[in-house]
C-alpha cells in the first residue's frame, strides 16, 4: 500500500481528532496510507502578510525541508489553515530568492539546536520549494480520481442533500493556492456527487464564518454563521460539509449561541468531508467521532437508510 507523507497539524491531534481518524480510515480503504511525519511542529497557522517578516515562515519551512530530506516530494495535509500556510510558504520560497536565502539562513543556524533529532552529518542543502503541498481533497480529485471513490462505495448517500462550505482560506489567494476558482469552485460539489449525495448551491459557501473572531468577537461570528447556516437550510440542505477545523467549530458549536440570538433558527448538522467519505466507504459508524458534534448528525443518516446503531460494513 502506498504511503504518502502526511502533516496532521495541531488541531487534528486534539480537538479535531475525528477529522484525522476518519481520514486515515477512509484512505486505507482507497488504497493508500497517510504516513504521519516522524517529527513535526505547529506550522504557525497563519502565514505572514508582510514581505519583510520571515520569522513566521521558519516553522512551515522546517516542516517542508524535513519532508524533502526524507526523500519524499509530496506532502498531504487536511486542515485548511495548515494547507494555506504550508502552500503559501512554499510559494514564497520558490518565487522570491531573497526570502529563500533568509529562510535557509535561519534553518541552517537552527538545525544544531534541535537536540531531539539524531545527529546529521550530511552536507547542508538549502530548501528551494521542492515539496508539493497537497490538500487531501485535492489528492482525491487529481491523483486518485473521484471515479475510484464512486467504485469503492459500500453505503449509498443517495437522498442526502449536502451544502459544501469552503470558507475563506481553502481557496485564497488564488495565485498562491491554485486549488480551484475561489469565486465559483466545484471541488467539494464534485466530491459530494461522487459519494452519491446531492450538492446544494447557496450564496454563502465561500464567505467567512468569522474565523478567530469566535474568540475576540463571538457575536460577530455568531451573526456570520447564522447567515451561512440559514442560507444553506433555506436552499434545501440537510447538512453542510466542511474541511476546516475552525469552520467546523464555528458552524457546529456556535449553533447554541445562534439559537439563543435568533428565534427563527433551525439547527443544521455539520460533517467533515472525511466523515462522509468514511461512512460511504463502510467504515464502522462508531469510529467517526460523531459524539463530538454539538448538532446530532444521526437523524440525517437514519433518514437515508443508514442504521447508525448497527456499526459498519466490514
**89-125 confidence digits (pLDDT tens):** 999 999 999 999 999 999 998 765 566 666 666 778 9
Which are the contacts of 282, defined by CB distance < 8 A and separation ≥ 6? Answer: 29, 153, 154, 155, 312, 313, 314
Segments of the chain assigned to CATH 3.40.50.11810? 155-303
- The boundaries of every CATH 1.20.1050.140 domain in the chain are 2-134
Does residue 307 have a cis bond before it (omega within 30 degrees)?
no
Range 264-272 average pLDDT: 98
Q: Please write the tens of the pLDDT for every residue from 244-260.
A: 999 999 999 999 999 99
d(CA 228, CA 208): 9
Mean pLDDT of the chain: 93
Residue 258 near residue 222, CB atoms below 8 Å: yes
The least confident of 8-17, 116-125, 205-214, 241-250 is: 116-125
Q: 155-303, what's its fold?
A: Rossmann fold (3.40.50)
Domain 2-134: state its class. Answer: mainly alpha
d(CA 23, CA 19): 6
Length of the chain: 314
Q: Beta strands 132-135 and 74-77: pairing type?
A: parallel
How far apart are alpha carbons 249 and 107 in whole angstroms?
A: 34
The rounded distance, in Å, linking the Cα atoms of 249 and 131 is 30
Q: Under the phi-then-psi rule, with left for phi > 0, alpha for psi from -120 to 50, and beta for the rest, what region is 4?
A: beta
Given this model, what pLDDT does residue 14 score? 85
- The pLDDT value given to residue 177: 96
Which helix (H) or strand (E) segment is 64 a member of? helix 55-69
Nearest to 89 by CA among 78, 110, 104: 104
Amino acid at each position: 500500500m502506498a504511503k504518502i507523507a502526511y502533516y496532521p497539524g495541531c488541531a487534528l491531534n486534539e480537538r479535531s481528532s475525528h477529522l484525522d481518524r476518519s481520514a486515515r480510515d477512509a484512505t486505507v480503504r482507497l488504497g493508500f496510507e497517510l504516513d504521519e511525519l516522524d517529527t513535526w511542529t505547529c506550522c504557525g497557522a497563519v502565514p505572514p502578510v508582510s514581505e519583510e517578516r520571515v520569522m513566521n515562515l521558519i516553522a512551515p519551512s522546517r516542516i517542508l525541508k524535513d519532508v524533502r530530506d526524507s526523500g519524499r516530494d509530496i506532502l498531504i495535509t487536511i486542515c485548511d489553515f495548515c494547507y494555506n500556510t504550508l502552500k503559501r510558504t512554499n510559494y514564497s520560497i520558490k518565487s522570491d530568492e531573497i526570502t529563500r536565502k533568509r529562510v535557509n539562513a535561519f534553518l541552517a543556524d537552527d538545525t544544531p539546536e534541535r537536540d531531539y533529532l539524531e545527529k546529521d552529518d550530511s552536507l547542508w542543502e538549502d530548501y528551494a520549494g521542492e515539496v508539493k503541498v497537497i490538500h487531501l481533497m485535492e489528492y482525491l480529485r487529481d491523483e486518485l480520481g473521484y471515479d475510484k471513490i464512486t467504485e469503492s462505495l459500500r453505503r449509498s448517500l443517495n437522498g442526502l442533500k449536502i451544502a459544501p462550505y469552503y470558507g475563506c482560506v481553502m481557496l485564497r489567494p488564488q495565485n498562491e493556492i491554485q486549488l480551484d476558482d475561489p469565486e465559483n469552485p466545484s471541488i467539494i460539489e464534485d466530491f459530494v456527487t461522487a459519494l452519491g449525495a446531492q450538492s446544494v448551491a447557496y450564496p454563502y459557501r465561500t464567505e467567512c464564518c468569522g474565523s478567530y473572531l469566535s474568540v475576540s468577537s463571538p457575536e460577530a461570528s455568531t451573526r456570520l454563521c447564522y447567515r451561512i447556516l440559514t442560507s444553506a437550510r433555506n436552499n434545501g440542505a440537510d447538512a453542510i460539509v466542511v474541511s476546516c477545523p475552525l469552520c467546523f467549530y464555528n458552524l457546529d458549536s456556535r449553533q447554541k449561541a445562534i439559537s439563543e440570538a435568533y428565534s427563527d433558527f433551525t439547527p443544521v448538522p455539520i460533517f467533515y468531508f472525511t466523515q462522509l467519505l468514511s461512512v460511504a466507504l463502510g467504515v464502522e459508524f462508531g469510529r467517526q467521532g460523531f459524539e463530538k458534534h454539538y448538532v446530532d448528525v444521526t437523524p440525517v443518516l437514519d433518514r437515508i437508510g443508514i442504521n447508525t446503531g448497527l456499526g459498519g460494513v466490514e
